[in-house]
Amino acid sequence: MIVTFTPNPAVDKTILVPGLKIGAQNRARESHLDPGGKGINASRVVHRLGRSTVALTVLGGHIGRMLRGALEAEGVPCRFVEVHEETRLNVVLQDESTGASTRVWDRGAAVPPDAMADIDDLLAHWVPHAKVFACAGTLPPGVPGDTYARLLIAAAASGAKTLLDADGETFRAGLDGRPTVIKPNVREAEAVLGRRLTTEREIIGGAVELLRRGPEAVVVSMGASGSVLVTADRIVRAVPPAVERLSAVGSGDSMVAGLLIALAEGLPLEEGLRLGTAAGAATAMTVGTQLGTRTEIEALLPKVRMEVL
């Protein structure tokens, strides 16, 4: 089973505005509400592709109930700890005239000590059941900074393959858990390495440096330019098919789903990269924070170009 842990989930509200004007009154043409959070989105795509998964998370208030209901309606198994504060509501303002999006990510619900104890119990139950275990997203207030490292070590000790998809200090601290795979985007890799990565050669060099910090494989996503997989003995680039890209939100999470499936099924990571690239492209074709469908992903899969560098 593929188990994901998203301690700081969200409901994402996308508002489509023709000709967005900052500092002025704008009227939306339409809006969408979707479940959000890196691991939750990865589990949703894994489920859409017909594989077994459970999303572990922390929910609170009306927005938390909304998120739970959306996952139940989609058929994605979810187990959670409830907290008093509201689950965060993230907002994406998409200017239809330019295609540009402005994103506001909320802080997230604080986790008190008693809830943290319940989270530890939840994870202690599910981690031993994981064939693959993923830690994904930011840590909300109240969750210790070493949580991901501790969980990744425990999952590996239970025989699971592991994946880390995080940002900033959470990503840096999580590397101490020696995950099997890490999947930063370029900006996230730059933040950990402390330098700009502006060319493909620099991105590959950055991935090699991250590889020296413990993971078996590093996948760096580069948006519409594709992604690179770096291991100790190979470098592979995946080039997505040309599609009409409406939103980049969720594409990286969709790529993670492909990598998780490859790890769970013992496939070469290149196959996970191919599947994840198709999933990411399918998600890029959707509005706001929606995700690609199985039909779209399978249609794009043969069009992904793989290159050994």
User: Which residues are part of the catalytic machinery?
Assistant: 253
Both tokens assigned to 299? 């249609």
CA distance 301 to 114: 45
Both tokens assigned to 174? 């999580």
Radius of gyration of the chain (CA): 18
User: What residue has token string 């020296």?
Assistant: 212
Q: Which helix (H) or strand (E) holds 221?
A: strand 217-221
User: What residue has token string 């909304």?
Assistant: 66
Give burial (CB, 10 Å; 0-12/13-18/19+) of 252: buried
DSSP of 68-102:
HHHHHHHT--EEEEEESSPPEEEEEEEETTT--EE
Both tokens assigned to 152? 């990744």
b/e sequence 120-130, b meaning 16+ C-beta within 10 Å:
eebbeebbeeb
CA distance 307 to 309: 6
What CA–CA distances, in Å, run from 278 to 15, 36, 293, 304? Answer: 26, 20, 11, 7
Q: How many CB atoms lie within 10 A of CB 152?
A: 28
